[in-house]
Amino acid sequence: MKRAGNIEFLRFVFAIAIVAHHAMLEGYMAMWGGFLSVEFFYILTGAFIAKSCKKECEHEYTEDIHSTVKKTYSYLYKRILAIFPELIISTFIGLLFFVLIGVVDIHSYNYFRHVLNDFLFLQSFGMPVASVSGIVWYLSSMFIGISIIYPFVRRHYTEYCKLIAPILSMLILGILIHTYGTLNVPAEYLFGIINTGNLRSIAFISLGCFVYEQAVSLNEKKLSKKKVIVFTLLEIVCYVLILLHMHLYTSDNSIFDEQAVILMVIGLTISLSDISIIGSLLKENRIAIWLGKYSGALFFGHFVWVQHPKELATLLKYTGNNQKIISIVVAFGVSFILMMLSLWIKSCSVYKNLIMKIST
């Protein structure tokens, strides 16, 4: 799927927000609500699902159920292969760091069995994991959400994307806010059995399907220059307010996380519609597209460093007062190396052939 510069730039912005959240920065750099980047990425996932299915599935669809199952597995495997190099490399780099700082005993057989479950994406099924990269729950829930939603979108595109998706997502959103008072619930168990990460995934991937449909409708409208300017300003305001909510986030205002989600819906509808001035300016911008690629590596590669600034400082023999800043700098550097290694693996003919084989 061709990359759009404005969406890639947004991916980078929200990746930065989640790095700041995990780094637990304070003061003017605080981003305690950065976890809401998860909602943003799930919504994008849903939009991409809708886009991949729309042309052949929008009208009444009579595909054989076995074909639907095959297409679902094919789509799921492609998504897994798209991120697997980053997961493998970031996990092994993280393990090396953990061994060096004494967090992990290299002779601990059971710990490495937990690591194996990281690669199998089992956390949101309730299985024990190590989650070295810190985002295994997100990946596990995302793939569960895709497995459930994708076949429905293929077989009932219009009904799901235009009717079921927005209602289902708002119902789940309400349940989470009412029960927990926040969306910052990555792996809790509602009623003791329902994983909240899975609920977030299903809700916001579904919402992404709805957002894509609204974006297509908006794109088809003939807008005057004044209206384009208004929509562009609205787009900017939405993202500024989302980041402001993340920055000012406290336990007192966490009950308004749903407002940030609504702003994401509005902002992404405009961004995906290609009608805004920003979208036109960044559409094929190489820097924006590069930042989008880098954001994926940053998402995978930052966690172990920003969560252990003291241990990292000791390892580097750094005695200054900027341990968190040093850990962030290291996270950015390691993520760049991670990106380059992952791109190299994905460029190998063996890996390309594997993806092509799954696609057919």
pLDDT digit string (tens) for 104-143?
A: 887 788 899 999 999 999 999 999 999 999 999 999 999 9
Select from 168, 184, 164 the least CA-distant residue to 176.
184
Q: Which helix (H) or strand (E) holds 146?
A: helix 136-155
Amino acid 60: pLDDT: 57
SS (H, E, C) 223-258: CCHHHHHHHHHHHHHHHHHHHHHHHHCCCCCHHHHH
- What gap in Å lies between CA 37 and CA 45, rounded to an integer? 12
Cα distance between residue 107 and residue 153, in whole Å: 46
Q: 118, 87 in Cβ contact below 8 A?
A: yes
The answer to whether residue 62 scores a pLDDT higher than 70 is: no
Give the per-residue pLDDT at 61.
59
Q: Which residues of 68-104 are buried (b: 16+ CB within 10 A; e: fewer)?
A: beebbeebbbebbeebbbbbbbbbebbbebbeeeeeb
Q: Is 61 helix (H, G, I), strand (E, B) or coil?
A: coil
pLDDT in the model for residue 2: 62
What is the rounded CA–CA span in Å between residue 39 and residue 357?
31
Looking at residue 41, its pLDDT comes to 98
pLDDT (tens digit, 9 = 90+) per residue, 70-87? 999 999 999 999 999 999
What does the pLDDT look like over 200-228, one tens digit per residue? 999 999 999 999 999 999 999 999 999 99
CA separation for the pair 113, 155 (Å, rounded): 38
3-state class (DSSP) for residue 162? helix
140-164: average pLDDT: 96
- Whole-Å CA distances, 49 to 106, 129, 205, 219: 41, 28, 8, 18
Looking at residue 350, its pLDDT comes to 83
Query: How far from chain centre, in Å, is Cα 78?
Result: 16
64: pLDDT strictly greater than 90: no
Q: How high does pLDDT run on average in the chain?
A: 93
Q: What's the rounded Cα separation, in Å, for the pair 121 and 76?
A: 13
Q: 35: number of CA atoms within 13 Å, CB side?
A: 21
* pLDDT at residue number 259: 97
Q: What integer is the mean pLDDT of 172-178?
A: 97
